[in-house]
């Protein structure tokens, strides 16, 4: 199969769109462990702010507790930053980190 100019342009467009998707989701919302907030409060926060199910939020809370932090959500900065602020407003420490390139 020969690549025509039309096919090459389409392939280029698809690759660029894929790269934009990767770049858009290149941040992690990190929630940090502390000795103040309860499991129930962290779980409620993740459900209400991040849209997690109760089960997802509970799993995240355990990982945060035992590992000290966890990336609870991935996405673009503009989407994650309001979530980070809402989590911080509830007294839970959260940051946004750029995902490591592989």
- Encode pLDDT of 75-87 as tens digits: 999 999 999 999 9
Beta bridge partners of 94: 31
pTM across the whole model: 0.75
Beta bridge partners of 98: 27
Spatial CB neighbours of 98, under 8 Å, sequence gap ≥ 6? 26, 27, 28
Residue with more model confidence, 100 or 11 = 100
pLDDT at residue number 1: 45
DSSP 35: S
- Encode pLDDT of 8-60 as tens digits: 666 666 656 555 555 556 999 999 999 999 999 999 999 999 999 999 999 99
pLDDT at residue number 100: 80
């Amino acid at each position: 199969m020969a690549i025509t100019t039309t096919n090459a342009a389409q392939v280029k467009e698809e690759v660029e769109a894929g790269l934009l998707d990767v770049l858009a989701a290149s941040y992690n919302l990190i929630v940090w462990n502390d000795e103040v907030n309860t499991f129930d409060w962290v779980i409620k926060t993740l459900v209400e702010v991040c849209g997690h199910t109760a089960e997802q939020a509970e799993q995240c809370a355990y990982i945060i507790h035992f590992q000290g932090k966890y990336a609870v959500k991935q996405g673009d900065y503009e989407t994650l930053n309001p979530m980070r602020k809402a989590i911080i407003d509830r007294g839970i420490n959260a940051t946004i980190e750029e995902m490591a390139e592989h």
